[in-house]
Each structure stands twice: as C-alpha cells, then as structure tokens.
Amino acid sequence: MEFSSAFWSAVAAVASALTAFLMWRTSLQSYRQSFRPELIISGWSRPQSQEVGVEKICFSIVQNAGPGSALHVHINSILYADDNRPKATMGTIRDSLIPSNQSRSVDGEIRICWKNIEGKPGSKSLSFCIELLCWDTTGVRYDTNYRLLIVELGSNYHLQDEIVRGVMLQSRRIVFHPVWYLKLTNRIKKFKEKLRLH
C-alpha cells in the first residue's frame, strides 16, 4: 500500500507539532520548578504535659528547601471526634515570607486529647494531618500535608522510623494549583450550591 506525498507531509507536520508541544511542556515544567517552594517541618519533640489525658507533640523549625520563595505561609490543623470534642488541635502559624534555603523558628504545638479518643487507655492511636499552605511568586498555591501516626506514651505499639517517641510520619504529600484554577473551582462550587438551593 502506497501513501501519497501529502500524507507523509501531514505525518511530518503532526510529528513536528507534537515535538514542539513536548518541548514547550518540558520548558514550562522547568520554569515552574525554578519558582517552587518546598516546606519541611523538623525539630520534633514530645515534652511531658502537665494536663491529665493530654499530650503534646511539638516542632520548632519550618524550612523552605525549594528553589523558590514561600509566600503567605499558613500552617494549621484540627481534628474532631464524632461528638465535636477535639481529638487534637494546633495553633495557627503564619509567616509572610520564607526565602529559598532558609528556615524559621516556630512554636508548633499539637495537643492530643486522649480522653476524647476511643479505645483502652494505653492502647490508643491517632492519625493526624498537618496542612502547610503557601504561594510562590508566580501565583501558584502549594498544599503540603503531613500525615502522622501518634500512639500514647507507654503503649505497647512499636512504630518504625519514628520522628520522635511514639510518632511516625505516614506520608508527606504536595499538591499545587495556580490561582486561576482555584478561583474557577470556587466559582463552580458556589454555582452548584445556588442550583441546589433553587
């Protein structure tokens, strides 16, 4: 089966366009990478709490290990039981700017209310997520989630790769979206809510 010169010209044009698209996408990814912040929590400790039924997990350093600056940094988390009693709480930490390869000293404190968590005393555990939000200088938002597995002090659980006594980092996940995408999804969400009301 023979193909005409027009067919091969079309194939060459498609291949050229595909190559150009892939080169553009690679260039765009490299460009975005140069502005990307990456927030890391360290300086973990577990001091003795004076409150009965309450334990503290603390961290003292937030570092930006990425090549780009982290703007409008916001760190927070809270977890409720089914009856709206707090299982774990953490005060909000804010910083307007953490430049690349720099760190900030913080007073990060997670309060674990074991009395509000189901289970036998001494055998309770909790999966807890810390959310770190920031923006880069091009308007892209980065959402970093630290998921921790925490067990009571003196429990029979033995965790591997502990970052501090009775605390293991289960996962660390980073999701990023440009501001225009966030605004669009927010408008769509509001529009759907209006439709439900009507």
Quick check: 32 pLDDT over 70? no
Contact 148, 170 (CB under 8 A): yes
Q: What is the mean pLDDT of residues 151-168?
A: 85
5-15 pLDDT per residue, tens:
776 677 777 77
pTM over 0.85, yes/no: no
Contact 113, 51 (CB under 8 A): no
Q: What is the mean pLDDT of residues 148-165?
A: 85
Residue 109 one-letter amino acid:
E
Beta bridge partner(s), residue 128: 148
For 186, residues 6+ apart whose C-beta sits below 8 A from its C-beta are none
Q: Residue 53: which pLDDT band, with cuts at 50, 70 and 90?
A: confident
> Is 3.40.50 the CATH number for 39-190?
no
Contact 141, 182 (CB under 8 A): yes
92-145 pLDDT per residue, tens:
999 999 999 999 999 999 999 988 888 887 788 899 999 999 999 998 999 999
Domain range list for the chain: 7-36, 39-190
Residue 77 sits at φ, ψ, to 5 deg, of -175, 155
Beta bridge partner(s), residue 125: 151
Quick check: 147 pLDDT over 90? yes
Contact 61, 95 (CB under 8 A): no
Residue whose entry in the numeric block shows the structure tokens 């720099």: 102
Distance CA 25, CA 44 (A): 39
Cα of 121 vs its chain's centroid, Å: 31
